[in-house]
Amino acid sequence: MLMATVVLTGCALVTPTPPAASDAAGAAPPDAVAALEAVFGPPSQAGFGSAVFYDPLAPGVELEQAALARYQFFVGDLWERYGADAWMGPWQRVYSRPAGAARDIVAELRALTNRDAAMSASVLLDSVEAPEQAQAALAAAFDDSAVTELTVYTLGDGGAMAGLLVAGQRQDRSAIFLVFLLD
């Protein structure tokens, strides 16, 4: 179900839309996206657990705007039920990979200093069914040399639910988003 809610971020409106994996940058997603989906799940509006999205970035849309749209889409009807203030309260950029930095998403997630982010990262990396597979899938998707921007955000409902959103923009202006939200 597509929501008609619009998110205001940095004076730019983002209307969440369903994922369109087949049109990302006019090509099929990289194999790494399929590996990430195998561990963390395909696009969904479950509002709980995890999901992977792969989308083109429209001209003029920044990675954070697209990440917010995917977050809102993932939360689905719960966004309206609890309100944007609840879901946006915990939203915070907790990491951006510096230009020229080593590409090691697992180490980057382990090094998060924000307490909530560090706890969520620990669950994401170590408490999944197959931690080695999860870490390999994360590395394949986010350590690829085609990833030009990587950012990690905290998210949640301001109460019991908390998690992370990992966003990576690729050279072709496609983006990979991993949304992870648990209570």
45 is a domain residue: yes
Q: What is the 3-state secondary structure (H, E, C) of 13-24?
A: EECCCCCCHHHH
Q: What does the pLDDT average to over 21-42?
A: 78
Enclosing domain of residue 23: 7-182
Number of domains in the chain: 1
The residue behind tokens 């749209």 is: 69
1 is a domain residue: no
63 is a domain residue: yes
Q: What is the reported pLDDT for 131?
A: 96
2 is a domain residue: no
Give the length of the chain. 183
Residue-averaged pLDDT of the chain: 86
Q: What does the pLDDT average to over 40-69?
A: 95
Q: For residues 125 and 131, is the Cβ–Cβ distance under 8 A?
A: yes
Instruction: Return d(Cα 177, Cα 183) in angstroms, integer.
Output: 20
107 is a domain residue: yes
pTM to 2 decimal places: 0.86
Q: What is the reported pLDDT for 157?
A: 87
174 is a domain residue: yes
Q: What is the 3-state secondary structure (H, E, C) of the chain?
A: CCCCCCEEECCEEECCCCCCHHHHHHCCCCHHHHHHHHHHCCCCCCCCEEEEEEEECCCCCCHHHHHHHHHHHHHCHHHHHHCHHHHHCCCEEEEECCCCCCCCHHHHHHCCCCHHHHHHHHHHHHCCCCHHHHHHHHHHHHCCCCEEEEEEEEEECCCCCEEEEEEEEECCCEEEEEEEEEC
> Which has the closest alpha carbon to 92: 64, 57, 54?
64
Q: Please write the tens of the pLDDT for every residue from 124-183.
A: 999 999 999 999 999 999 999 999 999 999 999 888 899 999 999 999 999 999 999 998
Instruction: Return d(Cα 97, Cα 142) in angstroms, integer.
Output: 11
